[in-house]
Chain A
Amino acid sequence: MDGQQDFVMRTRGLRKTYVMGKTKVHALQGVDFTVHRGEMIAIVGASGSGKSTLMNIIGCLDYPTGGTYQLDGVQVESMGRNKLADIRNQKIGFVFQGFNLLARTSALENVELPLLYDRSGRKMKIRDKAREALERVGLGDRTNHEPNELSGGQQQRVAIARALVSSPAILLADEPTGNLDSQTSVEVMALFQELHRQGMTILVVTHEKDVAQCAERIIELRDGRIIRNELVRDRRDAALDPVPANPVLQQPAGRA
């Protein structure tokens, strides 16, 4: 049931403790969860619940204090800085709240960026791949625009194209709609759902209920622990995660 190919990532007993002077802050206190291939998951929680810390560790930007983390068949928690950079490049696509595009750099060049740091040695036409990714998010006609010439929604879509371009194992979105108005938020989330339908594994960190409702599964954190991990929408082809005790099926739409 729990075969190697079945899941994209799995954490076991993930802990993170920050030492600030004499006080210790336990941001994560043993987090276990599994993400299956093709799933779309929302991580929710109040501020201070540890979701940013979790995001950083999952995103291979930070090291856990304890526990194990397996990503796409690779044990990540004890890797060196350079290897971790390569993992971020190959296996993870980031989408940030503030878009984080390079200013005064065209959309196309922004999307090309991850490919410039590619060390896998795979042969590819960087420009073509970047253009393809932009077309996938519906910005094929905006390739030469710079971020300040694009709307917020368009900027976020460029960021999504940049996250997609290296064909990562998982898409990590940190409050992707936090800087967008509600109409654009809906559009961006629709794009995520479309990608999800195409088979992309997506993990969204959010505190907005509507956004969380777009996911199939919601993981809720509080004080560094998972207090809820439940399926909110049916998914035909995925096996259930073993952790949730009582998967509750809920009505997904029409609650906004």
Chain B
Amino acid sequence: MKSSTLIKVASQSILKNKMRTLLTMLGIVIGVGAVIVMVAIGQGAQSQIQDQINNLGTNMIVITPGSSNQGGVNRGAQSYNRLTAKDAEKIKRESLVVSAVSPVVFSRTQVIGGQGNWRTTINGVSTDYQIIRNWDLKYGRFFDQAEQRQMRRIAVLGHTVWENLYPGQDPVGQSVQIRNVPVVIVGVLEKKGQTANGTDQDDVIFAPYTTVQTRLSGWSRIFQILASTPSTRDIPEAQAELTAIMREAHGLSRWEEDDFTVRNQNDLAEAAQGTTQIMTWLLAAIASISLLVGGIGIMNIMLVSVTERTREIGIRMAIGARGRDVLTQFLVESIVMSVLGGMIGVGIGFISSNVLGQVTGWNTVVSPTTIMIALGFSAAVGIFFGFYPARKASSLNPIDALRYE
């Protein structure tokens, strides 16, 4: 039998029993729909986290102070801060792999200017910071090397600060008061949004770290050093190099532990990705149980159908159908049914994940791969659960089948 004829014959017998076919397909429809929605939620979360991580900066390496261990009492991470701006400068001078380095020093304070006042964080960074964070400007410019060296009283406003102090206007050239020191605004940054844990990244003012250390906060310690490499491939090498430079800068002997920690953005990203990946699989696994139940429904109906159509099978065999023809016919029927159900399920899954995304505000992603896998899976269900009934049909004795009432 030609395959086109086979599909025609299968569709005919499926159409002869519309209501039953519909109900049987419903199991597959719900199963596939559930898988699509669940995977969409999982992948949505995954892509959201990926976005947030990329948002932090590309190929970023973070050096933070290490823990202090005095007399066997470990006081935990960052308890013993020996990072200085000199470390960052040394890295800038000596590193061959790292393309940008910036020390970071924070100070939280009240700022007065424009429409009123606002409590925010002053971040002392270097000119490289803009490169590391891959952050565009809305107005004006970032400060340059010379201004950094000269400890100029200048600042770049984060989007949130700008919105609160100078809504809708270009504040470049105006000045704000930070701890009673007038600071001239040279630029405003574009909006960056929230971090993965909900902190507003735009509620910040950037100034040269030199200025912050000497004129605004007076602290010589810095809280972290950020660095970045031109490509992701360079990160392992850069990490090793930075560790070596830092150990040298802190004069650590061979048996002393690092008094700092070097981490990279990708470690963070992978950890987060790993978690959501597991989540996605878990959701998909739960949803596939309904697909399994749908498959059993198909098997059930196909078995009933084989019994009901015993006479038809007998007729087909009497006029020359081989066992294989009958097997294929019933197998194609269950596959057509499950694939059709799968397609409807994909449609419903697609629509409901979009609706769910709209209603809950979650990010949902239905990828072509998901659709292909879902369709493939439903076809596999059709074959798997259709085989036994089809086998049963094909092994009928034509004489008994013809006599069946």
Contact = CB atoms under 8 A, between A and B. Distances in A.
Interface of A: 56, 59, 61-62, 81-82, 85-86, 88-90, 94, 96, 100-105, 113-114, 116-118, 162, 166
A145 B322 CA distance: 28
Interface in B298-333: 311-312, 314-325
Contact of B399 (A56, A102, A116, A162): A56
B323 A94 contact: no
B5 interface: yes
A82 B325 CA distance: 10
B318 A94 contact: yes
Contacts of A90: 320
Nearest to A91: B320
A-B CB proximity, top 9 nearest: A89-B320, A117-B320, A85-B322, A114-B319, A88-B320, A100-B315, A82-B322, A117-B321, A61-B398
Nearest to B16: A104
B402 interface: yes
Nearest to B320: A89
Contacts of B9: 116
5 contacts: A82-B322, A86-B322, A96-B402, A100-B402, A104-B16
- From A105, A117, A162, name the one whose CB has the most chain B CB atoms within 10 angstroms: A117
B85 to A, nearest CB: 85
A100 B311 contact: yes
Size range of the chain B interface in the assembly: 20 to 34
- From B316, B317, B318, B320, name the one whose CB has the most chain A CB atoms within 10 angstroms: B320
B315 A116 contact: no
B402 A117 contact: no
Given A61-B398, A116-B1, A116-B5, A102 B315 contact: yes
Contacts of B315: 100-102, 113
A86 B322 CA distance: 8
- From B1, B311, B322, name the one whose CB has the most chain A CB atoms within 10 angstroms: B322
Contact of A88 (B12, B318, B324): B318
A62 B399 contact: yes
Contacts of A116: 1, 5, 9
A113 B315 CA distance: 10
A117 B325 contact: yes
Given A105-B12, A117-B325, A59 B318 contact: yes
Contacts of B323: 81-82, 85
A88 B1 CA distance: 16
Given A100-B311, A116-B1, A85 B320 contact: yes
A89 B319 contact: yes
B399 A61 contact: yes
A118 B320 contact: yes
A162 B1 CA distance: 17
A93 to B, nearest CB: 8
A102 B315 CA distance: 8
B196 to A, nearest CB: 60
Contacts of A85: 317, 320-323
